[in-house]
Amino acid sequence: MTKARKIEAGLAAAALLAGAGVWWAATGGLYGCSAADRRLGPRLVSEQVLPAHPAGLEPVGPPEAGGCDEDDRHVEVRQRYRPSVPMAEAADRYTAEVRRQGWQPQPERPGAGRCYAREAAGTVVFLDFGPSDDGTELVAHLIADPYRGVWC
């Protein structure tokens, strides 16, 4: 093989590797959600990771799988509840149900709702909940991070 052919072969191999690297990065290798990340939200809903609701809280529609956040690669699921009891009592009842189902309390964050964590769907799932912005609903929010980020 001549020197020119070796150079051409080397350039072709470098272009092929560069193209494969771009494809890998664009499909979630470096940035963004992988196919497994995208399946996690629906899996959390189908495996019923959200705690069962206690008396005094009625779900407002089905759980909403928010998809995968491309920046942080975490998955979110949200469920809203309409309380038939005062909000403080609704939050206390939900807290009791969460603990009964094995969720572990996490350190409180200023200005945030109550936060818990447990293993589910092969990863750590964080649950926080509190009143909606207008105070008419209790909102439960799951965040699952297959890369073990801490969301409380």
Percent of the chain predicted with pLDDT > 70: 76
Query: How far apart are alpha carbons 7 and 9 in whole angstroms?
Result: 5
Query: Tell me: the pLDDT tens digits for 57-83?
Result: 999 999 988 788 888 788 889 999 999
Query: How far apart are alpha carbons 74 and 28 in whole angstroms?
Result: 12
Domain locations in the chain as residue ranges: 1-31, 35-144
- Among positive and negative, which fits the CA dihedral 120, 124, 130, 133? negative
Query: Tell me: the pLDDT tens digits for 12-61?
Result: 666 665 554 555 554 445 568 888 888 888 888 887 778 788 899 999 99
- Among positive and negative, which fits the CA dihedral 87, 91, 92, 96? positive
